[in-house]
Amino acid sequence: MIDRERMTGFVMDLMRTDSLSKEEGAVAQMLVATLRDMGAEVRVDDAGAAVGGSTGNVIARLPGTVASAPPLLLNSHMDTVPPGKGVKPVREDGRIRSDGTTILGGDDKSGVAVIVEVLRTLVDRDLPHGDVEVAFTICEEVGLLGAKHLDLSALRAREALVLDAPSPAELVIKAPSADRFEFVVHGLAAHAGMAPELGISAVRVAAEAIAAMPLGRIDAETTSNVIIVEGGTAVNVVPDRVVILGEVRSHDDAKLDHVMSTIRRELQDAASRAFVTANGTISRAWIEERCEREYTRMAVTDDAAVVSLVLAAAKDLNVPMRTVTIGGGSDANVFNAKGMAAPILGTGMREIHTVHEWLDLGDFYACADLVLRALTLRAA
């Protein structure tokens, strides 16, 4: 029932429309017009004002034809990562790819296009369905900000399906918590050639700490990563400031807290070993810290109604489907933390966040078929 050429053309139009985080206005206007044309009730919330963006979340409701069918929220995000301006999608050999100079934007415009096509098909073919609510969110790529500012109490749906993963043969039901942090290592500047012994190298303190940190794959549930984004001003000056950014993710909050504490301790220990004495005065390295829980882990149960619904749709279509655990975060983490069961379904996106990104059209169409079948089954 899905019009494959229509949804392919639409996703390519979305890809050509720039929508970096906090700059989703043009895509939002496009979606508002499209949703209203099909008879949906549409509004834009004030999330954009809250985060300093060009638009808020686009929220819509397609009234149901079956009053007894429970409403369902469908979600994808509108924003993309850089380099994401001037995207030129190329269609070839059953896929849409980037031209190699930018990302493609299949993350997550493929999800947006699937939702729009499913709604169009429900209307065009007069298919039975309950209320379908939609949230096209902003700023997912920079901290899930749109979802965090979305007022779920204003929606009727108590369950959601998030379209923001690679494979439509996998339904994500578990994802980790994540802490994001910034540490600033403060040392003491000195001339690197004439008086290095009077300085404290912030780079050395950072290097010693990073070398001792638990990084990468820590166990099956836990990962961490750090980068140095700033350090030093000139090669002839002992660097007095280094900025370290990083994250820790885990499906076990106790493990996450332990790794975070270890990272903090290694920095403090490295700083405590770095000091100089000049003219009877002791100067020491010190650490400045900012750390926050970016999102909370999600764990949707296998027997949740929305999980059973998607699995039933897959069975009805005779396509493979399994539930899986992933290591990334999405708007689904926020919805689940607010009490709304929300698994994640894949749309065919591949090699996301790179200039080699591409969209598998077979998976893209399969995702739309699954979502459409789930909605009609819910009405039955």
326: which 2 tokens?
Answer: 């992933």
DSSP label at 69? Answer: S
Q: Which of 140, 294, 360, 363 is catalytic?
A: 140
The residue ranges of the chain whose pLDDT is under 50 are: none
Is there a catalytic annotation at residue 159? no
Is there a catalytic annotation at residue 140? yes
Q: Where are the alpha helices (DSSP H) in 153-288?
A: 202-212, 253-272
Q: Which of 24, 79, 240, 369 is catalytic?
A: 79
| CA 316-4-23 angle, 5° bins | 110
Q: 332-362 burial string, b = 16+ CB within 10 Å, else e?
A: bbbbbbeebbbbbbbbbbbbbeeeebbbbbe
Pair 241, 278: CB distance under 8 Å: no
pLDDT at 94: 97
pLDDT at 354: 98
d(CA 160, CA 255): 28
d(CA 53, CA 44): 13
Q: In a 10 Å sphere around its CB, with 0-12 CB exposed, 13-18 middle and 19+ buried, how is residue 33 labelled?
A: exposed
pTM beyond cutoff 0.95: no
Sole residue written with tokens 């090699």: 351
pLDDT at 206: 98
Residue of 378, 293, 286 whose CA lies nearest to 337: 293
